[in-house]
Structure 1
């Protein structure tokens, strides 16, 4: 993969997302895929760190078998996931999209949609989970399996990032965040059809969600959420493991805070 073209940069600017191919080599992808399966196998022996019951009426029933299994902080489970965060091709693409060389990690996670019972995700903005002052936050979403509307693939509303933060309807009901589903129904969203190994980079202001997995195949993904090193959280937010790792460039604000601590204790 080479650096993004001006046309690709413009597409991201207008649409709030971009689908990229050949970011990882075949060997890298195979290694990550194997490590992912082994991690979920280990975690299957205990309660998953997170799960989601989807937005369809049937999926909200307490006896619903529809779910999405999740594991967070992947870089704390295997060094291989940490290596993914420092992949040069990925960081080149992120630098081109974000317009900064100073890139820091916010968090990582993996979602697994099992065959025939993988739940849908309602349309939402990631913004509501961790708002930042300059809205520099993006996600890098790696497909470990081909994805389409039939197996729980990603759906987006192109250009919706330009609307800014939308009303959070999910906050009225519980811990999950989502926008008005009548204004942003899944049926009118644009499907992101991806091949195994494709990476989607998208703004945390982009309205996005996913369909249920009704196929006989699993749908595996992992993602990293990243920000400009000079961007700062809005309001009180929990600090996530690994948050603030400098993946490229420098963090001058962190340099200053460390110097002040040294002056007080030294």
Structure 2
């Protein structure tokens, strides 16, 4: 599946595009097995506090490897479409599993991904996240919320909110009235492709159901990252097979 010009136009206008059932139920079950028993997630998980003290768990890594997560990140379903949205070749930046557990999962404050990544030295916001639902994401269990079209604002100032990084709350108070708030309810296997300047957040999970997500993040290959006194350049993301079962 390659995005149509209408989908690309929708991404440019809204800052995101949602694709239902990009991954099958069987593929999602394989990923959930990796969440619950795989080395990659177990070895890199930490907790972050929201403004109320509730904890959201996160596992993050910056390299591809011979595992199922990397097979997803290099899948043609992701790489080819990300490249089309970026308008050039995509580079893998990082992968992460976000675990908002039942009855205890913390919120994610309003922020832009580029609010983090600007401080990490990336020159341009030509970067994309692909947010893949592993569990059903609903308003009850803290689904992603976005402000449609807010990527056109450019980068906002960010600071500490709890142990997270969030956009300036005073500015958000005014901005929220200017853009449509969209609750991105998603079935397992659906994927949201969104711009690094799109404002997004999520409420805490006080329901009886987990809300777990895999996010694969990409950078345009022309976008350098400042590292000390030099630029780091990213290589083109390899494109793997679409047969994820062979990686299980």
TM-score (norm 1): 0.77
**Counterparts of 1:77 and 1:53 in 2: how far apart (Å)?**
29
Correspondence for 1:222 = 214
Contact 1:122 1:181 survives alignment (8 Å): no
Superposed displacement of residue 175, structure 1: 6.1
Match for residue 92 of structure 2 among 78, 82, 105: 105
Correspondence for 2:10 = 11
Match status 1:133 vs 2:123? yes
Structure with the bigger percentage of helix: 1
Which runs of structure 2 are paired with 1:9-48 in the superposition (5 Å)? Answer: 9-39=8-38, 43=42
Contact 2:112 2:200 survives alignment (8 Å): yes
Match for residue 195 of structure 2 among 203, 207, 211: 203
Correspondence for 1:233 = 225
Change in Cα spacing, 1:40 to 1:114, as seen in structure 2 (3 Å) is farther
Correspondence for 2:47 = 51
Match status 1:167 vs 2:166? no
Where relative contact order (Cα < 8 A, 6+ residues apart) is larger, the structure is 2
**Larger CA deviation: 73-82 vs 29-38:** 73-82
Superposed displacement of residue 202, structure 1: 0.8
Superposed displacement of residue 245, structure 1: 5.2
Per-residue Cα deviation, 1:111-167 (whole angstroms, up to 9, x for no partner): 111111111111001112222223211101111011122101101111111111112
Change in Cα spacing, 1:126 to 1:216, as seen in structure 2 (3 Å) is same
Match for residue 70 of structure 1 among 58, 72, 85: 58
TM-score (norm 2): 0.82
Structure with the bigger percentage of strand: 2
Larger Rg: 1
Superposed displacement of residue 38, structure 1: 1.1
Superposed displacement of residue 184, structure 1: 2.7
Correspondence for 2:104 = 117
